[in-house]
Amino acid sequence: MGAIITIITFFSMEAVAWLAHKFLMHGLLWNLHEDHHKKNPTSFFEKNDYFFVIFAVPGILCLALGLYTSLNALLFVGLGITIYGFAYFMVHDIFIHQRFKIFRNADNFYFKAIRRAHKMHHKHLGKEDGECFGMLWVPMKYFVDALKQK
């Protein structure tokens, strides 16, 4: 049962990330996210990096409550959140934005699709008129285009 909770939580986090990105990062918390769209080339860190901490808190709380109380399901919810956070870091920061120079050339339609969708997201420098707020699942047209390129 724990594995099912972890998997459901992992995939549910894509919806949470999409909603948070669209309505918080491009809304109330734009001041933290803005430097991600208007990158300072002299700085490795961004105010946007605070979102790693913000989104880690629920995962840590669920892990701790699941370990130290009788609410065992929360352990698996926390695990799903944490695995999603790791996937987000690997895909968004390492693969897409190349903050660490590894995984540069992935010849895979899935990775090409998410990279292209994210590029379309970043063409908008302001908080309005954004598109492609997801990370692991993007609009189908990007997958279709990537498959056509093969």
Q: What is the pLDDT of residues 29-84, one digit of tens each?
A: 999 999 999 888 888 899 999 999 999 999 999 999 999 999 999 999 999 999 99
Helix-strand-coil split of the chain, %, nearest 5: 70, 0, 30
Retrieve residue 95's tokens: 């693969």
CA 48 vs. chain centroid, Å, equals: 12
pTM of the model: 0.88
Give the per-residue pLDDT at 127: 83
CB atoms within 10 A of CB 84: 23
Contacts of 148 (CB under 8 A, 6+ apart): none
5-21: b (≥16 Cβ within 10 Å) or e:
bbeebbeebbeebbebb
What pLDDT band is residue 5 in, cutting at 50, 70 and 90?
Answer: very high
Q: At 101, is the secondary structure helix, strand, or coil? A: coil
Q: How far apart are CA 8 and CA 113, in angstroms?
A: 23
